[in-house]
Amino acid sequence: MTLKSKVKRSHPVPKTITLKEVVSSLQKLSLKNKFKTTLLGIGPMSEVVLQASLELARDYDFPVIFIASRNQVDTNELGGGYVQGWNQTSFSKSIDRIAKEVGFRGLIFKCRDHGGPWQRDEELQAKLKEKEAMEKGKLSFIADLEAGFHLLHIDPTKDPHFEKGAPLKITLRRTLQLIEWTEKERKRRGLPPVSYEVGTEDIVGGLTAVSSFQQFIAELNKRLDYKGLPLPAFIVGQTGTKVMMKRNVGTFNSQRAAKLAEVALKYGIGFKEHNTDYLPKDILKEHPELGITAANVAPEFGVAETEACLKLAKKEEKINTPAISKSNFIPLIQRAVLKEERWRKWLLKEESHLTKEEIIKNKKRLEEITQISGHYVFHHPQIRRAREKLYENLKQNKIVRSPEEEVKSAVKKKIKKYIRAFNLEGSTTQILQSLTYSQ
């Protein structure tokens, strides 16, 4: 499938349209066999990823859905985020600014991914008690609401006090409590409606079997309806995906995916897949037909940016001009990455024992660790300065005309893979037409 750039949209974009409405319109279109697509949730790994996403959405007419975890973006009171040092407000303003700069006037949705208790690494490691963990999760949700987020993923499945995560009964109770509390606070502050996402892809989350998945949806919908609370836009389920290092080591189960999507549709909820990174193109192309309403991709885009920067740094190393002051980008980012140790979560099981010293001695492994974790340290002042110096050297020595564009193009190439596979081109127009005709 070849993408056709510069799609012209005939329908104006409404100022207020919720993701719940988007999901409903797509489900109606799919049932009538008029249009099938899978929405793309984009992990906002850097400003470059924001720029690449918004430019592509401008050119190919699809909704931009940014999904930020609490580790990536959070209130300063809880430690902020590792992406650009963003809190919810600065993240939201960055999106608005870049959208204006690139001339994007389509649908943008700012979303919380994996919100709730114990969803920051340090909270989980500290094994906070339930009350404190819930309070921190609520504090984060308030900041989300006040920053204008459009969707909140209510995910209370992590719990250090249970070996295999929170049991289904407890997950249900906490999910209901958090939605009820959030709605009360939203209305008290006079803020606009938000959409909700529930469930998790984690195999410890108690929602892997189709039976427990259906039980969770049925009971949650029943209780939400009884309390007059909004039903979720999305529910997350496990399709067999799992990302480690630079590949998807899971086994995608198309039959399970179709069944979970069917169950979600029965209750008027969109089925969402997480950990979609690195899946083969033939599997990605199945997603719209399987009824997968949306799929999240994050680390793959951060890795693409890091790899592009490292490729440029290797070009800089070959510059022989005596007077030039090199950026030392590669050794600097390698040291920063090793120190942060966020790479440990991506190691394959058989490599989980590796120490920093062992990685340093293995050049190939050090390069891979840097590629998968470079985006975690982009915001470090020393790395920012080194990157600026790298770009400056490449331009002055006429090695690369625009390093910025080269890096952004590398990210765009990855995003385009999903635009094609998910049939996203022109989807905003399809959604708006559907909403117009249904009114």
pLDDT in tens, 305-323: 999 999 999 999 999 888 8
Please compute, for residue 29, the number of CA atoms within 13 A of its CA located in the half-sphere on the CB side.
25
pLDDT band at 120 (very low <50, low <70, confident <90, very high): very high
DSSP H or E run through 236: strand 234-236
Rounded CA-CA distance 251/203 in Å is: 13
DSSP H helices, 267-380, are 281-290, 299-317, 329-340, 356-361, 363-373
The residue type found at 222 is K
Q: Is the CB of residue 152 less than 8 Å from the CB of residue 112?
A: yes
The residue type found at 292 is I
Which tens digits make up the pLDDT trace of 399-423?
Answer: 999 999 999 999 999 999 999 999 9
Residue 288 — φ and ψ, nearest 5°? -60, -40
Q: Which CATH class is domain 19-300+415-433?
A: alpha beta
Q: Would the pLDDT of 7 be above 70?
A: no
Rounded CA-CA distance 167/165 in Å is: 6
Using alpha carbons, list the distances in angstroms from residue 21 to 27, 129, 194, 269, 434.
10, 37, 11, 11, 10
Rounded CA-CA distance 120/70 in Å is: 6
Rounded CA-CA distance 19/15 in Å is: 13
Rounded CA-CA distance 88/141 in Å is: 10
Structure confidence at residue 323 (pLDDT): 82
Beta strands in 251-365 (DSSP E): 270-273, 294-297
Find the range with the poorest average confidence among 23-32, 74-83, 205-214, 296-305: 205-214
Domain boundaries, the chain: 19-300+415-433, 302-409
Q: Taking residues 24-46, what's their average pLDDT? A: 96
Rounded CA-CA distance 121/248 in Å is: 22
pLDDT band at 70 (very low <50, low <70, confident <90, very high): very high
Residue 281 — φ and ψ, nearest 5°? -60, -40
Written as six digits, the tokens of 227 are 């309390």
Q: Strands 243-244 and 247-248, how do they pair?
A: antiparallel
Q: Would the pLDDT of 206 be above 60?
A: no
Q: 350: which DSSP letter?
A: G
114 CB contacts (<8 Å, ≥6 apart)?
A: 69, 70, 153, 155, 200
Q: CA 87 from chain center: how many Å?
A: 16
**Claim: this prediction has a pTM higher than 0.85:** yes
Q: Which of 148, 171, 142 is nearest to 99 (CA)?
A: 148
Using alpha carbons, list the distances in angstroms from residue 337 to 83, 278, 300, 327, 331.
14, 22, 17, 17, 10
To the nearest whole number, what is the mean pLDDT of the chain? Answer: 94
Q: Taking residues 53-73, what's their average pLDDT? A: 98
Structure confidence at residue 10 (pLDDT): 47
Structure confidence at residue 204 (pLDDT): 47
